[in-house]
Structure 1
Amino acid sequence: MRRETPLAATPRRSRPIRTLVTFAVITAALFGSLVAGTFLSDATMTPKLALDLEGGTQLILKPVATGDTEITSETIAEAIRIIRQRVDSSGVAEAEITSQGGSNIVVALPGTPDKATLDLVRTSAQMRFRPVLAIGAPAVVEPAADATPITPKAAPDSPSDAAYYVTDAVLAEFNALDCADPANLAGGESGADDAAFVTCDADGTAKYILGPVEIQGNEISTANSGQRTSPSGAVTGEWVVNIEFTSDGRPVFRDVTTRLQALTSPQNQFAMVLDGLVISAPSLAPGVIISDGKAEISGTFTRVTAASLANQLNFGALPLTFQVQSEEQISATLGSEQLQKGLLAGLIGLLLVVVYSLFQYRALGLVTVASLVISAVLVYGVITLLSWLQGYRLSLPGVAALIVAIGIIADSFIVYFERVRDELRDGRSLVGAVDKGWDRARRTILASDAVNFLAAIVLYFLAVGGVRGFAFTLGLTTIIDLVVVFLFTHPVMLLLARTKFFGEGHKFSGLDPRRLGATGPRYAGRGKVSAPSSAASPGAAPSDDQPHDTLLDAPVPVGARVAGGFGDDSPRQTIAERRAAQRAAELGDAEDGATDPADASPSAGTTSADGPPTGDPAAPTDPSTERNES
């Protein structure tokens, strides 16, 4: 007796339409931001190119030793590091900063950098801390005709001793200084470390007489900006700059601030002088002794001005001063021809992936093609957005990373599709195979992309220049791969599984169970065999109007290998359950044999599980009637 039961899948509830709508909203927001930026800001709809593809501005800086500083390979390397930090903090990517001949420094900036970025490179920007001796209005002051000459003091009591450092010559220079003249705001001259210094503030709103240098800028450990936090932990909304000194600078800073506490304004202030201009001159809060080398600078800061001062404090301590030897525009080192060749290589790789996908997966390969196109659109949009917001520039190593990403993205789709096909071979319906295959493929895809992303992070932090561009682009495309697979590819597969073309396994769908080998019988549990309806007549092809699977009332031999059917999502049985089912079937056969009149005939021998056959002792034993107990 045979009974036929169609087997159906019971996948978990999913909402592919909602996921696709969410993905569409994210994509629309990405490109909507770019379009808005083109009208409201300086955004463009094309990504910026790096120095090797577009060209840019090149500056050659010649170091000039000051004081006791010597020009060595170590000081040149330190200067290159600080200049790179400055350029990176301004948002310019893919800059090339190298040493030329062991002395000069060559700085190449891609595109057309703005004045602020060029000033970061041109400026010698040695940071010094000097005590304030006098402050005046920025305009020129005519000295009084009957002014009494200043009698210089024999020896200074401290760097704040105005009676010693403010001489007639210094006062005359102070009165004649016009801080409204842009020429006096160019900076560059930092003055002698052990003498008074007359200068303007960077905005040209005041002029100063400063005492000798007390702390060098290289004694700054860190500086950062943020909103002030009260002792209770509440954020007050006031922007401040926090500064911390090194272990060597900590005791010096403590002694200076302790001395300034006892003085009156303006001599209770200390000036931060960057490249000869005062960028800040805070006063000491009454009664505050700074013994741990950590100070907070407050005032009329905004978020932008606080961040700017923190940057200047962090990256201002160049060990040398520099003269700009030359500044010129340079052409691209590789040019548009190399970019075209790189893009052509990417298109060839993409075409080969498309051909393979269509050959291997037939109509299912169109999902791969659509996913690759979507990934390319997202990568283009994100790179363009980063070019606008973060100064990212696409270099030739970045183009190489995009080509590598084609294989990474295609690999995720192949893992997913093969998992689905494995489930089909194992007898599941397409809806169940998509659901179960996704559970298995998701872990593999996450593990693979995690390894790629980790490699990109390590490479980014250990490399410089173009190699960092390769690492950044590789990490970016890895993240986009996950977004596309989770928010586009998987929901599309769920929708396709519900269609007649894919759901019924059309021969051109790439999911045909017969082509995948899912045509033989398979164990269905409880001692039953699930087989395609064509199994009743070997060699006959199943028709489309017959159920794919048929349950046969037949035991399954222990250890037998049964091919998967198509359409069954029932749970699998363990080996112990299979053995129990076989024993139950054998006992059933034994009971049927005991009540069969034909088997009860004296001429027919019977077999006992414990001994030799009974009946005619002379009759030979038929091996086919023996039964081994499992």
Structure 2
Amino acid sequence: MLNRYPLWKYLLILLVVLVGLIYSLPNLFPEDPAVQISSDGGDFSLDERRLDRLESSLADADIDIQSVERDANSVLIRLNNPDDQIQARDMISESLGDGYVVALNLAQSTPAWLESLAASPMTLGLDLRGGVHFLLEVDMEAAVKQRLEVNASAMRETLRDERIRYRNTEVVDRSIHMDFMNAEDRDQARQLISRDFPNLEYANLERDRGAGLSMTLTDAAVKEIQDYAINQNLTTLRNRVNELGVAEPLVQRQGPARIVVELPGVQDTAAAKRIVGATANLEFRLEARPDTPESETESYAFRNQEGRTANLMRDVIITGDSVSNANRSFDQNGRPQVNINLDGTGGTLMNRATRTNIGRNMAVLFIEHKTRERTVLEDGKETVVRTPYTERSIISLATIQSALGNSFRITGLDSPTEAADLALLLRSGSLAAPIYFAQERTIGPSLGAKNIERGIFSVIVGGLLVVAFMLIRYKAFGVIANLALAVNLVLLVAAMSLLGATLTLPGIAGIVLTLGMAVDANVLIFERIREELRTGLSAQQAIHAGYERAVTSIVDANITTLLVALILFSIGTGPVKGFAVTLSLGILTSMFTGIMVSRALVNLSIGGKPVKKLWI
């Protein structure tokens, strides 16, 4: 019998539609405006009495609180009115004072029964949900200097192994200067070093006493170092952002020395800056012996012990770059520590250094690059001048009891939060060069809400125009096409929610385009049915021929568009990818609804029945 599906096809379509309804439902429950209270670096502590006073003061200011939720690291205060968010944040910040971060937030309100089915709303992009936008600048000169200092350390080790005497080493601009006792030692050192460092230009220096050697990086080597620095920083920042658990962040290069970081949904800018902008790294060095020449030692203060210092060797055993994994834990006395695993090269270097220095102290040097900002007047305009500086302090000084390998631990940390942050920074990788915040912008949830309203309005207008056209053009069959269109929208939203795709303003444009394209399949089918009717076929035969013969054209047209969407996704960034995602998913769902769902509706309504005239 024509125009009849087997039972399993109806059941399959019904199952797909039911799953789509369930997983699209969370999007009907809007996020609640909220204020989040967290710690500004230390352990979080906010007693119940103080929290009760905060609630009372908010109530006195006519700020309607929906609920208060507390966990180990923060307090979330849900509000009923988004217009109260800023006032509530300011009041709480003033009441709590320093030591706390009070940030705007949006809290999910998905019912528990939907959450038990792993159903959650679509992730919203920065332009819809709000969040933070950072423009970071990479210090290229510091990248070159750091590479030269590493090279200088390797050179000193090589010269000591070959018993070639040198007096001091200095890094100046893009060069390394070394002094020797005589020209013979210098020439021997030059021949040895040039074999390991061919990317340097060598020149002899005249000295009043002894002889000098200058080693300067070539322009090609400098460019290579700078490219490596920004690419390594991109990788490290992506790892850090992933550790933060931000959905669909944007981390991309902008120009020769800048990186853009966008974190949708993050309103706690202090926490984001602490992790994203931290340029902390570690160096493991031996403590200097009393008879070590001053030119080979450096003195550093302890991080949290005022007045205490130690002399360390200038040579570095390993840096944080050799860390393959790091996790926070606690020692037998309940004090925080960081367990570290090294890669193969780092483990070998650590073992080589410690097995010959048992009984000697080894220090963990914490290095952090920061900037001081001051405002100056230039040509009558205020300009922010940033002065970079580096803080180095010892966080641990322990005696080597036995040869160390790939695993050991760092103690002497102040708090579990400090240990967790240090472990995260080491685990995600160190920065190849310091970065500074050139621009910081926070997009509030209220602006995102306006964009969502406008986006929904555009979808409604586009949908209504399509619905009106189909009803006017195809009458009863237009109703079937519109029902299939509604199913298509439900399935598209459900697919984006299930896949965790991020919805942005360009993504909404993709949905509007999908609504227009979704009826293309039905237009092709219905026009083919009209043609078959004009050739004299019966109603049932025309319907069967229309669906069967239009499938090839439908698949061909949609696959072509799908390939374009995939290309856009592969080569595009940010907004272009958001558009490509919704367009791709929309093509797949529209093919399903246009071919299978609409035919199922036709089969159920008139399939197999004697029909003399079709309202099409």
Which of the two has greater helix per residue?
2
Higher strand fraction (1 or 2) = 2
Q: State the TM-score, normalized to the length of structure 2.
A: 0.49
